[in-house]
Amino acid sequence: MNVSDSGANRTVSPLLGARIVRICHKYPNKGIELHSILYYFHKEFLYPLDLMSEGFDAIEPFIQCLICDNYPLEVIDGSDGWRRLAVDKRRYYYWLSGVKVAKRYDMMNILADIPDDAIACGHQLPKFQLPANLVNALPEILSGNILNELCFCEMRLMYAISPHEMFVHICDDDHHLAYHRLRIDMRSYDNVDNEDKYRVPSLLLFDGLLCAVRYHKICHEWHRSIILSIDRDNNCRLLLVDIGDVIEANAKHLRLLLQKYAQLPAQALKVQLTGIRPIGKSDQHWSQWAKNFVKRLEEHNYCGPIECAFIGRQSDRYRVFIRYYDKIKSINENDLLFLHQILVDKQLAIISGNDMPID
């Protein structure tokens, strides 16, 4: 029903429109009486809505402008004679999906009404700054003697998918202490008072959201993660950003990530072996044998110390050489094998100057 035509040629800012939708969504049955909208707005957001500064001289043209701008709102004439503004349930979720697709994180922050100490939608962890002394130049010849001259650092292979997609953790005191301290602090999610406070609202379930989830393989503790995908039953695939593992969990087990837990860069660095490509006709995909071989390096009973030499960054990962101590083949602790050369010797890869990431 039209309220007035005087606001038809004006527009309302998306953030203000989202705030009106939010307060109306809190009263889904009866809606809000038009003359009470300013009161509820002040009560919800703790500051007054100044219609004059928005270009309106009354509430009616303001409401009409919202409706003309396709916000999921409607004016209802009540049996008591009062006119109310309510959320149009038929259009609300369609409109909300459009907000998600457009990645209007600022609007989602308003609609979700998340706690002040939780990170905002679209927040990203700070980038990991690799020490300059650990970055090497790519050698022209990939021989063992030359590669051994590179600067290697000890690391742990956290999760391996293929020779071009692995997650490593640098083994030094600073990284270990920071990550250990973070895991201890995140136990605050176990407090009874936080059980429901930080649950992820359904409207915030979208690909790329940073959140917290329990991981049963490491003491069933809370870990930082990113949502990779969501199905219709709200089951999520998550990347554990400090480990590199991919797990599945239902949305009810996720928690909003607090700001104090989002200051440490992701501890799992995504890397790829440089200088090699898959062999054979299927040179656009790594064989299952190659994938299984690199996954063996996750097993501590198979290999000893693992070292990594960083060459530089390519797209979303670092290019590296990896050498390791094979508990079966290595003669002594200094007898380290180069992973790329082993893959070549086993005819699972070939040396190549073109090492763009391959699945």
State residue 4's pLDDT score: 44
Q: What is the pLDDT of residues 192-224, one digit of tens each?
A: 888 789 999 888 888 889 999 999 877 789 999
Q: What is the mean pLDDT of the chain?
A: 86
Residue 7 banded pLDDT, cuts 50, 70, 90: very low
pLDDT for 9: 63
Q: Are strands 317-326 and 269-273 parallel, antiparallel or unpaired?
A: parallel
Domain range list for the chain: 14-112, 132-173+267-351, 189-261
Q: What is the pLDDT of residues 177-191, one digit of tens each?
A: 888 899 999 999 999
pLDDT in tens, 28-85: 778 899 999 999 999 999 999 999 998 899 999 999 999 999 999 999 987 788 899 9
Percent of the chain's residues with pLDDT above 70: 91
Can you give the length of the chain in residues? 359
Q: Quickly state the pLDDT bin for 5 (edges 50, 70, 90).
A: very low
Alpha helix (H) residue ranges in the chain: 14-25, 37-45, 59-68, 89-101, 105-112, 144-147, 173-185, 288-295, 339-345
Domain topology for 132-173+267-351: OB fold (Dihydrolipoamide Acetyltransferase, E2P) (2.40.50)
pLDDT at 331 (0 to 100): 63
| Domain 14-112 belongs in CATH node 3.30.420.610 | yes
Topology match between the domains 14-112 and 189-261: no
d(C-alpha 83, C-alpha 169), whole Å: 61
- pLDDT value at 172 more than 90: no
| Low-confidence winner among 23-37, 87-101, 168-182 (lowest mean pLDDT) | 168-182
The whole-number pLDDT of residue 144 equals 62
pTM for this structure?
0.78
pLDDT at 235 over 90: yes
Confidence tier at 283 by pLDDT (50, 70, 90): low
Average pLDDT for residues 319-323, to the nearest whole number? Answer: 91
- Considering 58-72, 135-149, 158-172, 326-340, the range whose residues carry the highest mean pLDDT is 58-72
pLDDT at 275: 86
Q: What is the CATH number of domain 189-261?
A: 2.30.30.140
The pLDDT assigned to 3 comes to 47
pLDDT at residue number 139: 72
In this prediction, residues 317-346 reach a mean pLDDT of 82
